[in-house]
């Protein structure tokens, strides 16, 4: 049976003080399991030098910065603002799932409240994240596993025709990650549309941006992949 791409409207709320910018790519890929991340907000006091890493990637990933000043020493208003915004989004009735990127246990009551209304909540934090926050989420992912997961070599891109455009390694890696995150059948095939949605969750991805009319054409230009067109749609498999 062909995997149908999730149609949910997902909000990703990031606690910049308690999350690392280097994990944004895999977080967006995981959230593709429950829908498209249309709302992307990141909270912090942008006067702090420690948030420079996030400031550098905010534009690339369409993250909407939310400025929160430290009202008193060693305390900030980030947690409160995130909770208020989450409840506003819940009340709006158009969000079907949340991603909370933080290692702070203060978000446990918020996650519990969101789940009471039937929303799916994925949490993303470090190994130090308290058990209460972990258990409150439908699914909690230790972002440390993103760093330790082995990376398979990126294949060299071939030209599908003599005049076909080239595809850089960053795009190839994006396609590999999207495929690996997708549901596959017994023969290793994944729905091309589902893979494409996972790729799009991480960037404004479109095969035409790279000179290919269709996503299947782009996959066919990448060594190590094969495309199978069936009556039920197109499927892609990574060769071993």
Helix axes 192-202, 169-180, angle to 10 degrees: 120
**pLDDT for position 5:** 55
What pLDDT score does 231 carry? 79
Average pLDDT over residues 42-62: 88
Residues 57, 61, 64, 67, Cα dihedral to 10°: -20
Give pLDDT, residue 112.
Answer: 95
Read off the pLDDT of each residue in 5-18 and give the average, rounded to a whole number. Answer: 87
Cβ-contact 38, 9 below 8 angstroms: yes
What architecture does CATH give domain 9-148? 3-Layer(aba) Sandwich (3.40)
Per-residue pLDDT tens digits for 132-154: 999 899 989 888 888 755 555 55
- The C-alpha atoms of residue 221 and residue 217 are separated, in whole angstroms, by 6
195-223 pLDDT per residue, tens: 988 887 766 577 866 778 788 889 988 88
Higher pLDDT, 22 or 233: 22
Mean of the pLDDT values across residues 170-174?
86
Tell whether the model's pLDDT for residue 3 goes beyond 70: no
Distance CA 207, CA 229 (A): 17
Task: Give ranges for CATH 3.30.420.610 in the chain.
Answer: 169-238
Average pLDDT value for the chain: 84
Which residues, other chains included, contact 190 with Cβ-Cβ below 8 Å and sequence gap of 6+?
3, 179, 182, 183, 184, 235, 236, 237
**pLDDT at res. 1:** 41
Residue located via tokens 């429950």: 34
**Distance between CA 206 and CA 37 in Å, rounded?**
16
Q: Which pLDDT belongs to residue 6? A: 64
pLDDT surpasses 80 at 161: no
CATH 3.40.50.1010-classified regions of the chain: 9-148
Quote the pLDDT of residue 2: 46
Question: Closest by alpha carbon to 11, among 41, 33, 54, 43?
Answer: 41
pLDDT at 28 over 80: yes
pLDDT in tens, 72-113: 555 557 888 999 999 999 999 999 999 999 998 889 999 999
Alpha-carbon Rg for the chain in angstroms:
19
Q: What distance in Å separates the CA atoms of residue 103 and residue 121, rounded to the nearest whole number?
A: 14
Q: Kindly state which CATH superfamily the domain 169-238 is placed in.
A: LOTUS domain-like (3.30.420.610)
Name the nearest CA neighbour of 89 among 202, 9, 200, 7.
Answer: 9
Q: Sheet of 233-238: strands edge to edge?
A: 189-191, 233-238, 225-230
Which pLDDT band holds residue 7 (cuts at 50, 70, 90)?
confident
Q: Rounded to an integer, what distance in angstroms lies between the CA atom of residue 169 and that of residue 201?
A: 18
From the number of C-beta atoms within 10 Å of its C-beta (0-12, 13-18, 19+), residue 106 rates as middle
Residue-wise pLDDT tens digits, 54-63: 988 998 899 9
- pLDDT over 90 (residue 37): yes
């Amino acid at each position: 049976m062909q995997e149908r791409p999730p149609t949910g409207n997902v909000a990703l709320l990031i606690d910049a003080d308690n999350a690392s910018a280097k994990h944004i790519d895999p977080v967006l890929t995981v959230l593709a399991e429950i829908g498209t991340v249309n709302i992307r907000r990141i909270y912090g006091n942008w006067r702090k030098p420690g948030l420079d890493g996030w400031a550098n990637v905010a534009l690339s990933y369409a993250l909407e910065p939310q400025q929160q000043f430290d009202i008193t020493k060693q305390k900030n208003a980030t947690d409160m603002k995130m909770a208020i915004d989450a409840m506003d989004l819940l009340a709006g009735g158009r969000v079907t799932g949340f991603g909370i990127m933080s290692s702070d246990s203060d978000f446990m009551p918020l996650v519990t409240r969101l789940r009471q209304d039937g929303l799916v909540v994925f949490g993303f934090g470090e190994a130090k994240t308290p058990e209460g926050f972990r258990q409150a989420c439908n699914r909690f992912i230790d972002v440390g596993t993103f760093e330790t997961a082995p990376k398979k070599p990126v294949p060299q891109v071939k030209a599908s025709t003599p005049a076909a455009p080239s595809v850089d390694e960053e795009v190839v890696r994006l396609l590999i990650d999207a495929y690996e995150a997708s549901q596959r059948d017994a023969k290793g095939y994944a729905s091309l549309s589902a893979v494409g949605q996972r790729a799009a969750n991480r960037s404004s991805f479109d095969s035409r941006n790279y000179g290919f009319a269709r996503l299947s054409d782009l996959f066919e230009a990448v060594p190590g992949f094969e495309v199978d067109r069936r009556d039920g749609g197109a499927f892609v498999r990574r060769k071993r």
